[in-house]
Chain A
Amino acid sequence: MASLIHCPHCGVRPKEEFSIRGDASLVRPDPEASDEAWNDYVHIRSNPRGRYREHWQHVAGCRRWLVVERDTFTHEVFSVTDAAAATVAREAGR
């Protein structure tokens, strides 16, 4: 990746159409969660060399936030999914 992203809604698109916002595995904590949980959410990153889930927004396309799962060393993309779907699935799994 990083050159082309297969948007699940719009098809294959160049990197130029996207903006990137970092780690998609982070989940916004409950308002009652501990200070540490909140600090970790906002500031701490696992930053793996290898498989990684990252938020990309198709700003010049459908404007959806996507979860791009890819390798941070080889840049291979494993999957691109809609971020809302990922959140809904996670909430359902709770």
Chain B
Amino acid sequence: MTAYRLASSGLVDRSAPLDFRFDNRNLTGFSGDTLASALLANDQLLVGRSFKYHRPRGIVTAGPSEPNALVTVGKGADSDPNTKATVAELYSGLDARSQNRFPSLKYDIGAVNGLLSPFLGAGFYYKTFMWPAAFWEKIYEPIIRKAAGLGRAVLERDPQAYEKCWAHCDLLVVGSGPTGLMAALAAGRAGLRVILADEDFRLGGSLLGETARIGDASAQDFAERVLAELRSLPNVTMMPRTTVFGWYDDNVFGAVERVQKHVALPQAKLPVERLWRIIAKRALLATGAEERPLVFGGNDKPGVMMAGAMRTYANRFGVAAGKSVAIFTNGSAGYRTAADLTAHGVDIAAIIDSRADGSDRAPDGVRVIRSASVIDTKGRQRVAGVVVERSGFEQTIACDAIGMSGGWNPIIHLACQRGAKAVWSEDLKTFLAPDVGNGLVVAGAAAGRYTLAGCLKDGADKAAVLAADLGFSAVSHTAPAVEGEIDPSFTALWYSPGAKAKAFVDFQNDVHVRDIGLALREGFGHVEHAKRYTTNGMATDQGKLSGINATGLLAAMQGISPADVGTTTFRPFYTPVAFGALAGTSRDEHAAPVRKSPLHGWAQRNGAVFVDSGLWFRPAYFSRGGEKTWRESTDREVLTIRENVGLCDVSTLGKIEIFGPDAAEFLNRLYCNPFLKLPVGKARYGLMLREDGMVYDDGTTSRLSHEHFVMTTTTALAGGVMSHMEYCAQVHWPDLKVRFCSSTDQWAQMAIAGPKARLVLQTLVEDDISDAAFPFLAAGTVTLRGGLKARLFRISFSGELAYELAVPAGLGEAVADAIMEEGRAHGICAYGLEALNVLRIEKGHVTHAEFDGRVTPDDAGFGRMVSAQKQDFIGKRLSTRYGLTAADRMQMVGLKPVETDQHIRAGAHLLREGAKPSTLNDQGYVSSACFSPTLGHDIALAFLKSGRERYGERVVVWDKLAGAETVAEICNPVFVDPGNTKLNS
């Protein structure tokens, strides 16, 4: 046995034992434990295998910088790979498994990589696996992929829920240790809206493991008192279990709260994790400092741990990391751990101090070896001894754990996320946060003030300044006295010389000192190059432990200052964040809101099969009894409209009401065709271009009164056209007197099309809608029987006699039902998008399949519509560019297969007969194709080079993707009723 639970002490609740499992073993811990402290209490030293060499590894830290103790928690879809045991709150039933090992943690075949390590140094991938060339993908890469990676993602649907939330505050305090608590208290008392966030499940930070006394209380009691006062302040919000992971522009902070990660059975009404976007007027970073590991031979053996972590485990969790502990230190902190462990009855085998002149007092009877270095460790899967070298003499000291303390690094991650670089302090031998203005202020140990008294004061003082800055007056406050603390100074030691075994810098990624040296030798000495070449700092801990030592080593090896080496870039996330938390509720069917037409229910009752169309759901077709495929339904619908009449929901088209004395002028500039003289009571098809001369959108616009128009847009671009119009009205022509708003949602709009459309409609409309009274392109307000006012437009997409009727949305279903009822005698049917598409292809009408953003009006056959008279309209000038008017542009044509039983598919390309397929020979492509039930064969719209000159020619419709080639005749794109007799009937 090495590690064990102390008989007393700590903040765990010994009256609340918790059962949990690790690698299928049943173990027990206490409420208040982390998984790591509970594993240690059960003497589970070996917890994982490293990334490359699969070396046995143990717990190193007591916090989020842990490189080794990564486990998978949970089972199946409910499993979390790569969970850090050091931050995982223990709960009853927690089930954890070790990772990156086969067949077991103890006997891992992958460890053979360690034997090959001379071949697997930094950058080895790049120099090898090239011979023979074919072997890389078939042999080498799969092996590398399998060996790499840590936990296993099951990629099953996550049964848990997540959500997002916004929060606002005057001051965000990150970290609830001595600095954060005092800052929150000072700001809270001054009346600021304060949020105090801490990643730990228990607030108090380092105070929870502190043995010094504050005022008249223990550090823990002091923390409890402050927390009690903070809880009593309505303007202070406490957020435990909340990691602030990112600092973004305008002092927006991203944080993730683990709402139910620590419970065995999450409540359904709560998320397991919640993303917070905290908008903070000011923020204070009280994130403390990280203890620096020492780089010495054999420093990765289970049992080697940060000295501070040992202290935390003993003081906070009541767990001793070993029975006989050696401490390797370059400063006072190692002595502090020795003292605390001694107080708990743990034997200190020796303190190995790299300094010659340390003045720290060791506990009574403890042996101190000065000017010494550790060169190796003994033991296989756990430490059995430490090999110390001093003045050329080696000695082995038996021990079962080694605490290492290499100094301190302020945790400044967040402050460096927005581009400012960390600043080297020659005094403190570490990097400090840059000055980033008063939006984010760093205090306490995070600012390099390591004493407890200093932290308490710094937190309170800086919060008071920020409060004053925001116009609050701070309540005066005297910092409490601290008794029994030490100043943890140190002398930097980047490398303990004389290593007889690999001395690791990055534990998880297996980067050791020689790798850094190799990188430097090969020209990868820039800190970013070294990182990328060796993978130092690229593991799940993102170099929290290894980064500073890599910088120090690169500096030392080149004989320059760490200031000249610098750090790699700090980027979000401070600690890894689950996809789920960042996605919140926006997933699956809720990934985007659903828009429903006012006729949705009507369509449903009529057997619609829906298809999504942007955010909308629209009927694709209406299945009737006996119809087995969409084609059967569609063909029936098409023929019904061509012969009788049909009703189609077109409510989703954008509708914009346009008012004002300059409304006509505005439209005239917006469309490429003229609108100034559109008479009241008339509709006109309009074509809108982008400024580069390509078609943007099309639709009809009707003049309802002299100063009132209503425009329709396509469904897809309803929002885009609205924004475009607002841009034109506000940015280009604010002098025009025009106002407009969307009325898309106000109206249920239905197309009634077919030779019998008038017959059916007249039964409901009180006004005269005969061809004479209401001819093609008439538009106006009519009254339906029963007195309902409606808008009626005589426009047609199908080429049939057709109307669009608009009624207030709430009445849409009732009116549609009435039309269906009246139409039954005339054989009316409901029709969907599929039939609509066939009808319009037959008529040669275009949609966004044709207007794909690369097409000019002339390409699509609208050249004559473009006004030559108008002095200006959007897109006029660039329409005349050479390439947009060139004779060999692709123009829209119709295609019909020469053999009428052959098929044409949209997306096929076009070749001259006999031409070899090549990009150079490519003549164009099919934009839309369908089976025409009216004609009895396939038809298509296509864009073909100089197409309009080529009617009657044949082309090969080349669909290699389907393995099909069809010879087709080029024709006019209007397949049905080219004389518009039906339209005007």
Contact = CB atoms under 8 A, between A and B. Distances in A.
Bound pair (A, B) = yes
A2 interface: yes
A65 B727 contact: yes
Nearest to A59: B723
Interface stretch (B244-252, B705-713, B906-914): B244-252
B80 interface: no
Interface in A43-94: 55, 57, 59, 63-65, 74-75, 77, 82-85, 87-88, 91
B919 interface: no
Interface in B51-76: none
Contacts of B250: 1-4, 77
Contact of B730 (A1, A38, A64): A64
Contact of B252 (A4, A63, A65, A83): A4
A57 B727 contact: yes
27 contacts: A1-B249, A2-B248, A3-B248, A3-B249, A3-B252, A4-B250, A12-B279, A14-B166, A14-B252, A19-B723, A35-B877, A39-B878, A42-B691, A42-B878, A55-B727, A57-B727, A59-B719, A63-B723, A63-B726, A75-B249, A77-B250, A82-B730, A83-B730, A84-B730, A84-B731, A88-B734, A88-B735
Given A4-B279, A19-B723, A74-B419, A87 B731 contact: yes
B564 interface: no
A75 B418 CA distance: 10
Given A4-B250, A31-B871, A84 B734 contact: yes
Nearest to A5: B250
Interface string A22-43: 0000001101000100110110
The 7 residue pairs across chains A and B that have the minimum distance between CB atoms: A84-B734, A31-B872, A3-B249, A4-B250, A3-B252, A3-B250, A84-B730
A74 B437 CA distance: 13
Interface string B719-739: 100110011001110110000
Interface string B397-421: 0000000000000000000001100
A90 to B, nearest CB: 10
Contact of B726 (A12, A14, A57): A57
Interface string B573-608: 000000000000000000000000000000000000
Interface string B861-877: 00000000001100011
Contacts of A59: 719, 723
Interface residues on A, range: 20 to 34
B731 A55 contact: yes
B643 interface: no
Contact of B249 (A2, A28, A63, A84): A2
Interface in B690-721: 691-692, 719
Nearest to B252: A3
Given A21-B727, A55-B727, A82-B730, 10 more contacts: A2-B250, A14-B277, A31-B876, A31-B877, A39-B878, A63-B726, A65-B726, A65-B731, A83-B731, A87-B730
Contacts of B732: 28, 87
A23 to B, nearest CB: 12
Contacts of B871: 31
Nearest to A57: B723
Nearest to B249: A3
Contacts of A19: 723
Contacts of B248: 2-3
A39 B166 CA distance: 44
Given A1-B249, A3-B250, A38 B877 contact: yes
A88 B726 CA distance: 15
A77 B439 CA distance: 14
Nearest to A86: B731
A82 B731 CA distance: 9
